[in-house]
Amino acid sequence: MFHAKIRVVMTVEIETTLCVIHDDPVGIMENISRVRALGPYRFTPRGTQTLQDVYYDTPSRILSSRGIAVRTRGHGATAVFCIKQDEQVDASGTAVRDEIEMPWSRQCLDHIAHILHKVAYGLVEVPCRTDDPVEGLACLGLSPIQSRRTVRLTLDAGQEGDPCLGTLAKLALDRVCYRFSGSSILHHEIEIEAACPESLEHVRELSILLMNLHPDALRPWRHNKLVTGFALERLLAEGSLAITPGRYNSLAGPAYRAIETILHNA
């Protein structure tokens, strides 16, 4: 089933991330959500959605160790399958990575099996006759390693005075809830994603304008959500993160410094 040569068509994702580090992160996010013009840019709200993401890896996390992320978004046959890899982050904090994203189907198993064959020789293949993503990925030895719920408000950014240019970048105001052993941890960030490769400079300029708008609350965050979650998991295991079980716990400055120390030394 998995021996055929797979043609993998990837797109390039270009984005920068700003972390909200403040006593009132919700208030900061709400303030930004109401902004309609900033510098030469106009913002158009595109609504709010709730994203249910689950990431998968082998027990030894071989994919994560190679910088490969495998994710499903949504549930069952309606899930969207995603693979991200080859991430490069420049000095400005702008990340460029390759990405495959498609509705879940049996073909998704072919894609991930092709990647597993390249990074994990001797993979034992189990014929899979299920359309369920969890069961299908389990056939390849992959199990959930991280789950999170993100409430996302999206704003389209266009150039002021020239609507012919259309959308140059998308701002995703993300309220991310990580769940670890019954504990809920909230992380607030803003993703600024280029609408096309030619919009790279607009992404950088928007990042600077937003930080100037809230210099006391926004700072570049060079770490994607997956590895941020890995660092949180380690801090919890070490007992280094002060949280209240059964409640939503927002991250504060000391926690982010601890996360950066872990990820810098990884």
Residue 5 scores a pLDDT above 90: no
Given a contact cutoff of 8 angstroms between Cβ atoms, the answer to whether 80 and 99 are in contact is no
CA distance 259 to 266: 11
What band does 47 get if pLDDT is binned at 50, 70 and 90?
A: very high
Highest mean pLDDT among 107-121, 172-186, 237-251: 172-186
**DSSP labels, 121-178:** TTPPP-------HHHHHHHTT-EEEEEEEEEEEEEEEEETT-GGG-EEEEEEEEEEEE
Sign of the Cα pseudo-torsion (90, 186, 85, 51, in order): negative
For the chain, give the mean pLDDT. Answer: 89
Instruction: Report the distance separating Cα 200 and Cα 186, nearest Å.
Output: 29
Question: How far apart, in whole angstroms, are the C-alpha atoms of residue 146 and residue 155?
Answer: 27
- The mean per-residue pLDDT over the stretch 43-51 comes to 95
What is the distance between the alpha carbons of residues 106 and 80, in angstroms, rounded to a whole number? 12
Instruction: Give the pLDDT score at 161.
Output: 62
DSSP-assigned beta bridge partners for residue 156 = 44, 170
What is the longest distance spanned by two Cα atoms in the chain? 58
Residue 163 confidence (pLDDT): 53
Least confident of 100-109, 231-240, 248-257: 100-109
pLDDT of residue 112: 86
How far is 243 from 186, CA to CA, in rounded Å? Answer: 11
Q: Helix 225-238 vs helix 253-265: angle between axes, to the nearest 10 degrees?
A: 100
Residue 139 has a pLDDT of 87
Residue 90, phi then psi, degrees to nearest 5? -90, -175
Taking only the tens place, the pLDDT of each residue in 77-127 is 689 999 999 999 998 889 999 999 999 888 888 888 888 888 875 555 555
Q: For residue range 220-235, what is the model confidence (pLDDT) as tens digits?
A: 999 999 999 999 999 9
Beta-bridged to residue 169, according to DSSP, are 157, 194
Residue 130 has pLDDT above 80, yes or no: no
pLDDT at 38: 96
| Architecture of the domain delimited by 11-265 | Beta Barrel (2.40)
The reported pTM is 0.90
Residue % of the chain over a pLDDT of 70: 89
Q: With contact defined as beta carbons under 8 Å apart, do 39 and 208 qualify?
A: no
Whether the per-residue pLDDT at 190 is higher than 80: the answer is: yes
The whole-number average pLDDT for the span 233-240 is 92
For the segment 192-204, the average pLDDT, to the nearest whole number, is: 92
120-137 in b/e form (b: 16+ CB < 10 A) is beebeeeebeeeebbebb
